[in-house]
Amino acid sequence: MPEQNAVVIDLKFARSGVVEALKGAFPGREVIDMGDPENAGRDLSGVPYAVVWKPEPSLFDRARDLKVIFSGGAGVDHILSAYTLPDLPVVRFVDRSLTDRMSEWVVLQCLTHLRGVRAYARQQRERVWNELSPQPEARDVTVGVMGLGVLGEDAVRKLKVMGFDVIGWSRRKREIEGVETFDAGGIDAFLGRTDILVGLLPLTPDTRGLYNASLFARLRQGGALGGPVFINAGRGGSQVEADIVTALEAGTLVAASLDVFEQEPLSPESPLWGLENVVITPHAAAASDVSALFRHVERQIARFESGESLEHVVDRAAGY
Ligand code: NDP
Ligand code: OXD
């Protein structure tokens, strides 16, 4: 039987990153790495902690004495929706490195659309010297961020530093200095002001399919970029890709940047690949730094074992 304070790891991340990060992690504890074939048949009874990203479905039956489940990422839909979980605390990954990476991606995408990066790349391929005008400034563009949690709030602050006019929307009203915010009921007012929509929402029953034709039609038409832009790095299940394609073709949207998709990997058949005004990244906006993840889990276990409350515990009823 494993030691009483063991940690089981089932992370479907790049294997080399997990192996490297495990060196020296969890000092004084037995670590059972399910990525190691030698552990395939291990008895997991008595193990109190699991660190998981898309774990094997049988894990929660086998590790029946778990006390805390740690998500390998900020999102928890990968576990809440796919398994019948024991009634235990689920802790999400919150870390500076992940937050910084996400804000880099969001700011990059907003600037890409503001500064016509796609159009200049096309001109360069065609050896065309042509200055695009007019050249709107960030202050002429309102970025509406949906989801004002750890990631949304940081993105809002960094977009403001770049000069964008930034507004935000979340389920409950959030106060962020210098930013107009809207709660769930204020969605129409929020959308009607938004030129670039940034999705940083978790996937829950309430947010599934939210980014659809009806929502795109309520964004501010016209505006400094010629029409609305849609950017999503939350979850692909919140978007209706057929509606994105139709909106782009009809001009209801003028451009998009997508890091997440209804089905991942995105099918080679998806029409999104072929659209000039769409930026596609392969769910790479903010990868988890595995060493930082293990340090975060170590800190939370230390709190738990000394009787302090765990941080970043998921509200299982709300789904995030
Ligand atoms: P948080 O839990 O900190 O924030 C979630 C935000 O979404 C909160 O502001 C919350 O509102 C809001 N929200 C949730 N449900 C609704 C709803 N129905 N209507 C309106 N607002 C809602 O999460 P994070 O900021 O840490 O992460 C957000 C998501 O980003 C993750 O769940 C994950 O899916 C995704 N992600 C993607 C990555 C990538 O690489 N593409 C990397 C990491 C995360 P309230 O403030 O009222 O609670
Ligand atoms: C996460 C992700 O949720 O990488 O952390 O998607």
Closest residue (by CA) to atom 1 of ligand 2?
73
The one catalytic residue in 283, 295, 312, 316 is: 283
Q: Is the pLDDT of residue 66 over 90?
A: yes
Q: What is the pLDDT of residues 159-184, one digit of tens each?
A: 999 999 999 999 999 999 999 999 99
Structure tokens at 142: 């309102």
For residue 91, the CA-to-ligand 1 centroid distance in Å is 14
| C-alpha angle 31-32-34 in degrees, rounded to nearest 5 | 140
Task: Find out whether 156 and 168 touch, Cβ atoms under 8 Å.
Answer: yes
Average pLDDT score over residue span 31-56: 97
* Active site (annotated) includes residue 296: no
Does the structure show a pLDDT above 80 at 4? no
Helices 117-125, 96-114: crossing angle, 10 deg rounding: 60
Q: How many Å lie between the centroid of ligand 1 and the Cα of residue 152? A: 7
- Percent residues over pLDDT 70 in the chain: 100
Cα-only R_g, the chain:
22
pTM confidence score: 0.97
